Chain A
């Protein structure tokens, strides 16, 4: 309990510090001005969201291999947290795009593949809600989760493989890409903060899933009597 509170406090403090750094430490970008400050929140949420889906993918693989319930709990927990983070990405992106591009949305490769990713993980959670038998639910959702993760490398590569409306990558991009050193520090601090938040939410969600399993076991015991 104390460790969970500590992790939550660290996540909150880091998120506050990251917002402060994005507004007051990072220098103003020359062409976009203050609007560019959305980038620190938007891109760090995207990074943490992709990593949450990676945790889900590894948990899904481990469940298929070992059939241990703990991996099913970790899979659904990280999928739901990843979905929350990608929801923020899909909201903050258009808020940036409207003043920058003059449009809220366009069906380019990066935006479309991210929206498809969001739909895939919504489907993953819907699929789980439709199957009552725990082992069957865990196996089918693990297989679907492995399939859903295939979109993550496409989202990552979309702005590297194709010409898109979405800005070119500034991290792990080609020659000439990159960030001002202070912007880079603020960005990586924001990424760290988003990962602390994701870790805290996954732990909380994991405990919820364990409780749900306890309820199912107790209900079966009660029905058997």
Chain B
């Protein structure tokens, strides 16, 4: 079928962008959770 490659490319790249964006959010969230834990442990217990 003519142009089917273009249609697949559009969907694959589009889904790829969304998936990559979600991965960056998940990675940044994980890093920040680690940082929050580290900072909480570094502060005195009374906090």
Contacts and interface: CB of A to CB of B under 8 A. Distances in A.
Interface of A: 15, 19, 23, 33-35, 37-38, 41-42, 45, 81, 84, 87-88, 91-92, 95-96, 98-99, 197, 201, 204-205, 207-208, 211-212, 214-215, 218-219, 221-222, 225
Contacts of A96: 6, 10
A211 B26 CA distance: 12
B29 A218 contact: no
Given A33-B2, A215-B36, A88 B18 contact: yes
B14 A221 contact: no
Given A38-B10, A201-B25, A84 B18 contact: yes
A211 B33 contact: yes
B9 A208 contact: no
Interface of B: 1-4, 6-7, 9-11, 13-15, 17-18, 21-22, 25-26, 28-29, 32-33, 35-36, 39-40, 42-44, 47
The secondary structure that dominates the B interface is helix
Contacts of B6: 35, 38, 95-96, 98-99
Contact of B32 (A45, A91, A208): A208
A15 B11 CA distance: 11
29 contacts: A33-B3, A34-B1, A34-B2, A34-B7, A35-B6, A35-B7, A41-B11, A81-B21, A88-B13, A88-B14, A88-B17, A92-B14, A95-B10, A99-B2, A99-B3, A204-B29, A208-B25, A208-B29, A208-B32, A211-B29, A211-B33, A214-B32, A215-B36, A215-B39, A218-B36, A218-B39, A221-B39, A222-B43, A225-B44
